[in-house]
């Protein structure tokens, strides 16, 4: 028993970049599945008692996400549950989120909580404690968390401190795939560079003391896959950071757009796919688990081939 506890502690405190690199090598995959459970899009078989209230809706969302984990686990290295869909269901949704995280962990998948948290002082410390810190001798709820760096160093530091203590990772939102992101992220600085380039410089600085044995830092960045040029620029600016690349599938990007993201190694980028995979059954009419597994297998092969490793 003591040996098992020491082993669990070792896994929890290893650098996030190292845990990810080992998972990528073992599975030959850089695929992350976003878990965005929208109640009105769930398979009919799961909606049964949803009309009875929020508790039943949350249970249906949990069953959906756990079924997806079963279906995609052989082909992906991580899941990315989107907190908003769980928070919308109140306390029942938060319980469902915790269930899904624990279930994914039991399937030996990494968990990237997609919350884009960002605040200052005690609030940022509370967010870090909620998702990245060990509590009561338990593992952190998530392996990594998406954070908003546009509030500056003091808003990010509590998350960095949690990563140093407990082995987690953060993905700083850098260049997003939505059209409105350019209104702020592309603002020109006095030297002509877009604002997000300066944020990338800061992200690189923040991650310098969190580089693991595989040469990857635990401080990564979110870059929309719909901006292939920006992906290449981010790769050059952040040679040791893991790039989290949403936008493949429903938003129009393809794995072929992303080859340059993997220049720093096979685990230096992750391709996140959500709606086009988890709701694939709505297109082809197959069983929802079968459809998700088939799409995950296809994308795993496509991304690995593009990465060139």
User: What string of pLDDT tens digits covers the 309 residues of the chain?
Assistant: 334 443 444 445 689 999 999 999 999 999 999 999 999 999 999 987 766 789 999 999 999 999 999 999 999 999 999 999 999 999 999 999 999 999 999 999 999 999 999 999 899 999 999 999 997 768 899 999 999 999 999 999 999 999 999 999 999 999 998 889 999 999 999 999 999 999 999 999 999 999 999 999 999 999 999 999 999 999 999 999 999 999 998 788 899 989 999 999 999 999 999 999 999 999 978 899 999 999 999 999 999 999 987
Residue 1 has what pLDDT? 37
- Residues that are catalytic: 116
Nearest to 218 by CA among 18, 60, 72: 18
The token duo for 99 is: 């269930």
The token duo for 213 is: 């044995």
Hey, what domains does the chain have and what are their CATH numbers?
Answer: 2-307 (3.20.20.70)
Distance, in Å, from the CA atom of 65 to the CA atom of 33, rounded to the nearest integer, reads: 10
| Sign of CA pseudo-dihedral 76, 80, 81, 85 | negative
Distance, in Å, from the CA atom of 296 to the CA atom of 283, rounded to the nearest integer, reads: 15
DSSP state of 157: H
Q: Is 49 helix (H, G, I), strand (E, B) or coil?
A: coil
């Amino acid at each position: 028993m003591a040996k098992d506890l020491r082993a669990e502690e070792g896994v929890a405190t290893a650098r996030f970049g190292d845990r990810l690199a080992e998972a990528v090598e073992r599975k030959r995959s850089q695929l992350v599945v976003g878990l965005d459970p929208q109640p009105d899009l769930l398979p009919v078989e799961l909606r049964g008692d949803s009309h009875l209230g929020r508790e039943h809706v949350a249970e249906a969302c949990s069953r959906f996400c756990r079924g997806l984990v079963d279906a995609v686990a052989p082909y992906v290295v991580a899941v990315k549950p989107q907190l908003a869909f769980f928070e919308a269901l109140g306390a029942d949704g938060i319980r469902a989120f915790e269930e899904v995280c624990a279930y994914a962990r039991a399937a030996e998948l990494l968990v990237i909580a997609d919350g884009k948290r960002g605040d200052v002082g005690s609030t940022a410390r509370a967010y870090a404690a909620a998702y990245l810190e060990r509590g009561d001798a338990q593992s952190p709820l998530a392996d990594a968390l998406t954070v908003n760096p546009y509030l500056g160093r003091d808003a990010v530091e509590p998350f960095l401190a949690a990563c140093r203590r407990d082995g987690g990772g953060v993905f700083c939102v850098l260049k997003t795939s939505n059209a409105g992101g350019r209104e702020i992220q592309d603002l020109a600085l006095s030297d002509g560079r877009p604002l997000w380039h300066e944020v990338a410089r800061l992200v690189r600085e923040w991650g310098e003391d969190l580089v693991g044995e595989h040469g990857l830092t635990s401080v990564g960045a979110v870059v929309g896959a719909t901006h292939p040029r920006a992906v290449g620029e981010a790769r050059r600016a952040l040679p040791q950071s893991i790039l989290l690349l949403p936008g493949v599938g429903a938003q129009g990007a393809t794995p072929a757009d992303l080859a340059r993201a993997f220049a720093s190694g096979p685990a230096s980028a992750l391709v996140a796919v959500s709606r086009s995979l988890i709701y694939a059954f709505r297109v082809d009419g197959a069983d929802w688990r079968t459809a998700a597994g088939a799409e995950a297998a296809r994308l795993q092969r496509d991304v690995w081939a593009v990465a060139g490793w």
